[in-house]
Amino acid sequence: MIGIVIVSHSRKLAEGVLELAAQMTRGAVPMEAVGGIDDVENPIGTDPMQVLAAIESVAARADAGVLVVMDLGSALMSAETALDFLADDVKARVRLCAAPLVEGTVAAAVQAASGADLAQASAEAATAIEVKIRQLAPVTGEEAAASAQAQQEAAPQDALRLEIVIANTLGLHARPAANLVATAGKFRSEIRLAKGEASASAKSINQVALLSVRHGDTVVFTVSGPDAAEAVAALRALAADRFGERDEDVALAPTADAAASGKPADANVFSGTPASAGYAVGPAWVLRAKLPEIVRRGSDDPEAQIRELDQAIAAARAEIEAIKRETERISGKASAAIFAVHDLILADAALRDAAVARISGEKVKAAYAWSQTVEETAAAYGALDDAYMRARAADVRDCGGRVLRILLGAAAPALRQEREAIVVARDLAPSDVAGLDAKLTLGIVTEAGGATSHAAILARALGIPAVIGAPGCLGRIADGQVIALDGFTGTVWAAPQQSVRQDIAARRASWLEARHEASARGAAPAVTRDGVAVPVFCNIGSPAEAAVALAAGAEGVGLFRTEFLFQERDAAPGEEEQYAAYVAAASAMQGRPVVIRTLDVGGDKPIRYLETAKEDNPFLGERGVRFCLARPELFRTQLRALLRAAAVADIRIMYPMVSDVAELVGVLALQRQEHDALAAAGLAVPGAVKTGIMIEVPAAVAVADKLAALCDFFSIGTNDLTQYVMAADRGNAAVAPLCNSLNPAVLRMIAMTCRAGEAAGIPVAMCGELAGEALAAPLLLGLGLKELSMAGTAVAGVKDAIRATDGEACRALADKALAADSAAAVRELLRAGNPAA
Amino acid sequence: MPLSKAQLLAWLGKLDAVYAAKKEYLTDLDAAIGDADHGINMNRGFGKVMEKLPPVADKDIGTILKTVGMTLMSSVGGASGPLYGTFWMKPGMLLGGKEELDAADFARFVEAGVDGILQRGRPERGDKTMYDVWAPVLEVVKARAAAGDDVAAIVDAALPVGEKALADTIPLQARKGRASYLGERSVGHQDPGATSSYYMLETLRDVLHA
């Protein structure tokens, strides 16, 4: 192996460059840095004797010779001077390299590590600056000197030639380039690839990419060495296979035709699913354009770090596969193709191996090793002169970042939004969403996903306009670029003209005004004409939504779903994490009551790390509180977090899917045990925590009187109650019409529940979808409901409906509805009672 | 009269004083077109020479010259380290065993030294370097030595040539060293390396006339 001596006027610089190069080579390459002179006050300078000593020292360890890389001026002279003092046999193995110090040293070190000789390493180093020049060319307007010519070497006489016309649509880029380098690397022969005057080593991905070989170009391979004939045969076969180019590679590339014939006005307009109403215009904030910064941390157990990395890569690939499938289902194969590329990148053993080598060589943690490796790879892509190839840098960072987030788990640095922007992302993971600031997020645009994706649901809950599933828009949207979106039609303008901007801005203003008016109406309490105040609450799914609920005028949270804490991760959240989330939601509600429902999952909504048995009929299986009772540790952890949170805020506990008395008794006993244990351990717990149950199983309605004696409140979940009462799956189109909450059978169950509650003296609330229907509000009050909980967007309308009615009218309406023959008849009654509807 | 070892040592001692006195001036010259360290470097270099000389002061001239060269090489720091280092060392290798330098020896001394500068820096005349002073000076030295002048007469004849050559560096555009990065902005400034070279000649004249 060759060694490297780094010479600079500045010792700090020399040592810094050494550090940089060593980072790339993990100590494999003998290197020494010399710089500065022995003068504390004026340390800048070079000393030929020090250079001499460094060369001799490295030469002793590097059998293939020493490459000397220098900064400028006297460094060159000192290095030359040092040569004069070297013994002839050593001198013959020393080469001074004209490459720029930093770029050249790094390039040379990498070459050295891969076994290059002095000439190869020196040539690679000398061209290292071109990558930089090309990368900056769009900014500086400079072109790299045609120094590819300079490195062109006369082909030896005995070299074999192979001339090929490139048939690949993409030219020698991406996978084809990688395949070429991999194939060439298998042979000992020197393999050069020439296009016109310029030539490159076919073993260097950098050089091959820099050659910019395009479709239709004629290239000439010159192969010289012991296995030249075999190499030529392999190259010929590879070329015949279009260098392994596959259709999905081509599908990703912007086709020249589209660029040429497409109407320029349309190229910047994208359409997706109108996932959340509203308008927005403003600068784009492109998520995951950068990797999070990882602090370098050491690890004494490389084996464990490597295992963690492999697991994280596997988990990331599983995530990608899931997103790919969902995207394919919603938006088709073409939109999902990008995720195939992400998978390809993560499947690349070279990427993984480079990170693993770092872990072992530098004794660092997997996250650091991985982030460095991914960033290097992305930077290499980013430096290429081809727009298509440069775009791949973002993909490397995107899927690399996914692995990083998995590696870091809860320690992953959250996204920090600093200014008003339209968030643009390939897709939004719940963890990303948690970092968004609803106040600063003007809108959301994603390439993947549909109306039911996490981003869409969240955007609606937060009242943020969103267009989800607009494929291709990321390629046209740079960070900070002003874009516009219409969440009513699902349109995104990547480069809106002044007229579009003004139009969308005006629409946004009137939309905001209307919303503001509605929220003003929402803020006032809902009191019926005869003076009965009806608490109107909100349903939320994350602490972030609490603020939205408050803004909408909610007087509390009637249902806080805790599933979000458990989804999209690899292990259940701990007690502290849960405690923090519950307290956060409660504090966002500023002292108003928050009803928190314990984990409500089952075979119909599985969580990957929680074992769920395969059930023939998951809706009739182990779900809700049944699921938790069967997993006491999971359940106890949540209960402890809830009980502790209830000590610092008005938090109430609610159990889902309770179906009989014994079950509730068992649940309450568990809660009591944890309560007592916490108190015994000296932790703050309230004297009593208001505890209630969801009424969503017909059996619970039947024994509501008994259940009411055991708890503090009921809350009716109309969605599940309706499908259980009607024995109709609302997801099954054939029976969906039966599954209507207004069906008199369902209404009678609601009335029964309310009577039981009244008899026991406990309030009955409703947190199902029906509660958010303004038209149904008088009916629900008439049936005996005391509180209604709904999505934030429904608050104002429902409050208006409550204000417009009175107790007598409500009861009369309820009587008629209970006696009606069908859901349709009930709806007619509701309409008749509200002429405006 | 030949140049004696005592005169040589006096020359070196006086050079140390000159570079100490001219430290700011040389550094200012360098600040205009380079890295503002030439005065500091020369002062440090000859300071070190003074430390290294006593043990070799009674050795032959070759040894003294080599010691000066090696010391300058390691301590000057900038490009003038290898340049002046070579300038003194090359003649040192040539003049081993000498206790004094006659006119021919002196001419060989200057020729070998300037050769070293050429070998090390590959300058050409007009590059705005110390070579712009040494090239014409070498011509005069060789001519006067061939004509039979003694060392003092040679130096007397060379000094005005060097002085003019030094002034002639002012309008030149630097093509070597860090000054070359300044391009046209290096025009209008006297070259610091040429200046410190001229001081060597001037100081030698002073010593020979003392």
> Residue B165: which CATH number?
1.25.40.340
Query: Which A-chain residues 1-40 have CB contacts (< 8 A) with chain B?
Result: 37-39
- Cβ of B77 and A47 within 8 Å? yes
Q: What does the pLDDT read at residue A261? A: 35
Q: Which of B27, B43, B73 would best serve as a mutation to test chain A binding (most A beta carbons within 10 A)?
A: B73
The predicted model gives B57-76 an average pLDDT of 93
- What pLDDT shows up at residue A225? 85
Nearest-CA neighbor of A652 among A599, A595, A598?
Answer: A595
Question: Worst-scoring range by mean pLDDT, A193-202, A481-490, A635-644, A665-674?
Answer: A193-202
Residues of chain A within CATH 1.10.274.10 domain(s) are 302-411
Which one of A11, A42, A84 would you mutate to disrupt binding with B, by most B Cβ within 10 Å of its Cβ? Answer: A42
A209 contacts: CB under 8 Å, gap ≥ 6 = A172, A173, A177, A384, A386, A389
Least confident stretch, A26-30, A391-395, A645-649, A798-802: A391-395
- Return d(Cα B177, Cα B82) in angstroms, integer: 13
The confidence score (pLDDT) of residue A631 equals 92
Instruction: Return the H-helix or E-strand segment holding A491.
Output: strand A491-493
**B residues 58-97 near A, CB within 8 Å?**
70, 73-83, 85-86
Residue B207 is predicted with a pLDDT of 95
User: In this complex, do B37 and A42 lie within 8 Å of one another by their Cβ atoms?
Assistant: yes
The Cα A684–Cα A647 span in angstroms is 6
Q: How confident is the model at residue A664 (pLDDT cuts 50, 70, 90)?
A: very high
- A457/A596: higher pLDDT: A596
pLDDT computed for residue A638 by the predictor: 97
Tokens standing for A379? 């930077």
Domain region containing B38? 3-209
What proportion of chain B, given as a percentage, has pLDDT over 70? 100
Q: Tell me what the mean pLDDT of segment A516-536 comes to.
A: 87
The residue of chain A nearest to residue B83, with distances taken between CA atoms, is: A77
Least confident of A400-414, A568-582, A763-777: A400-414
* A134 vs A89, more confident: A89
From A173, A454, A538, A628, active-site residue: A454
Which residue of chain B has the CA closest to A36? B77
For residues A3 and A591, the model is more confident at A3
- How many domains does chain B contain in total? 1
Helices (H), A524-660: 543-552, 563-566, 575-588, 625-629, 632-646
In angstroms, the separation between the Cα of residue B142 and the nearest Cα of chain A is 27
Token digits of residue A739: 């599954």
Read off the amino acid at residue A180.
Answer: L
Chain centroid to CA B126: how far?
A: 18
Q: What confidence tens digit (pLDDT) does each residue in A437-465 have?
A: 778 899 999 887 665 566 676 677 678 89
pLDDT value of residue A832: 85
- 3-class SS of residue A442: strand
Asked whether residue A361 carries a pLDDT value surpassing 80, the answer given is yes
A chain contacts of residue B78, beta-carbon cutoff 8 Å = 45-46, 73-74
Which residues are within 8 A (CB) of A688 and not within 5 positions of it... i.e. 6 or more apart?
A: none
What average pLDDT does this structure show over A807-836? Answer: 89
Considering only A22-31, A42-51, A333-342, which range has the smallest mean pLDDT?
A333-342
Residue A569 pLDDT exceeds 80: no
Q: What interhelical angle do B131-146 and B192-209 show, nearest 10?
A: 30
Q: Does the structure show a pLDDT above 60 at A434? A: no
Q: In what order do the strands lie in the sheet with A66-70?
A: A31-35, A3-8, A66-70, A94-97
CATH of A147-253, one of 3.40.50.10860, 1.10.3720.10, 3.30.1340.10, 3.30.70.20: 3.30.1340.10
Cβ-Cβ pairs closer than 8 A, A with B, add up to: 65
Q: pLDDT of B127-178, one tens digit each?
A: 899 999 999 999 999 999 999 999 999 999 999 999 999 999 999 988 877 7
Classify burial at A416, counting beta carbons within 10 Å of its beta carbon; exposed 0-12, middle 13-18, buried 19 or more. Answer: exposed
* Mean pLDDT of all residues in A172-183: 75
Most confident of A281-295, A367-381, A511-525: A367-381
Q: Which pLDDT belongs to residue A264? A: 38
Residue A327: band (very low, low, confident or very high) from pLDDT cuts 50, 70, 90: low
Q: Selecting from 3.30.950.10, 3.40.50.1220, 1.10.274.10, 2.60.40.10, what CATH number does the domain A302-411 have? A: 1.10.274.10
Residue, of A595 and A48, whose pLDDT is higher: A595
Segment A415-442 shows an average pLDDT of 76
Look at chain A and count its residues.
837
What is the reported pLDDT for A335?
Answer: 59
3-state secondary structure of A484: strand
Please list the residue range(s) of chain A that carry CATH number 3.20.20.60: 529-833
Pairing of strands A594-597, A190-195: unpaired
pLDDT at A430 over 80: no
Q: For residue A74, which residues of chain B lie inside 8 Å, CB to CB?
A: 77-82, 177
Contact with chain B for residue A819, Cβ under 8 A: no
Q: Tell me if residue A810 is catalytic.
A: no
Q: Do B178 and A73 touch (CB under 8 A)?
A: yes
pLDDT for A630 beyond 60: yes
Taking residues A176-200, what's their average pLDDT?
Answer: 83
A261 has a chain B CB within 8 A of its CB: no
SS3 A437: coil
The CATH-assigned architecture of domain A267-286+416-502 is 3-Layer(bba) Sandwich (3.50)
In angstroms, how far is CA A427 from the centroid of its own chain? 6
Q: pLDDT tens digit string along A742-800?
A: 999 999 999 999 999 999 999 999 998 899 989 999 999 999 999 999 988 889 889 99
Question: Chain A interface, mutation test: which of B23, B44, B118, B119, most A Cβ atoms within 10 Å?
Answer: B44
Note the pLDDT of residue A168. 80
Is 90 exceeded by the pLDDT of residue B34? no
Q: Active-site residue among A97, A399, A767, A810?
A: A767
The one-character DSSP state at B81 is H
Q: Which of B37, B83, B86 is the closest to A44 by Cβ?
A: B37
**Listed ranges A11-15, A320-324, B13-17; the one with the highest mean pLDDT:** B13-17
When CB atoms are compared, the residue of A42, A72, A74 closest to B82 is: A74
How many other CB atoms are there within 10 angstroms of residue A810's CB atom? 24
pLDDT band, very low/low/confident/very high, at A26 (cuts 50, 70, 90): confident
Q: Which residue has the higher pLDDT, A329 or A17?
A: A17
Q: What pLDDT does A460 receive?
A: 74
According to CATH, where is 3.50.30.10 located in chain A? 267-286+416-502
Q: What is the mean pLDDT of chain A?
A: 84
Nearest-Cα residue of chain B relative to residue A79: B82
**Which residue has better confidence, B50 or A397?**
B50
User: Which is more confidently placed, A475 or A458?
Assistant: A475
Residues above pLDDT 70, as percent of chain A: 87
Give burial (CB, 10 Å; 0-12/13-18/19+) of A258: exposed
| pLDDT confidence band for A379 (50 / 70 / 90) | confident
Contact status of B179 with chain A (Cβ, < 8 Å) = no
The answer on pLDDT for A254 being more than 60 is no
Does residue A215 carry a catalytic annotation? no
pLDDT of A425? 87
Instruction: Please judge whether A45 and B41 are an interchain contact, meaning their C-beta atoms are less than 8 angstroms apart.
Output: yes
- pLDDT(A249) > 60: no
pTM: 0.42
Contacts of B120 in chain A (CB under 8 A): 77, 80-81
Mark out the alpha helices in A212-252 (DSSP H runs). Answer: 228-240, 247-252
What pLDDT does B85 receive?
A: 94
Res B140: pLDDT: 96
Place of tokens 């610089």: A13
Residues of chain A with CATH 3.30.1340.10: 147-253
pLDDT at residue A679 greater than cutoff 50: yes
Looking at residue A209, its pLDDT comes to 64
Element (H, E) at A520: helix A498-523
pLDDT of residue A184: 86
Query: Distance (Å, rounded) from C-alpha A404 to C-alpha A290?
Result: 12
For residue A46, which residues of chain B lie inside 8 Å, CB to CB?
Answer: 77-78, 81
Calculate the CA dihedral of residues A565, A568, A570, A575 and round it to 10 degrees.
0
Q: Which tokens belong to A95?
A: 């080469």
CATH topology of domain A3-126: Rossmann fold (3.40.50)
Pick the CATH number of A529-833 from 3.20.20.60, 3.40.50.920, 3.90.1010.10, 3.30.390.10: 3.20.20.60
B44–A39 CB contact, under 8 Å: yes
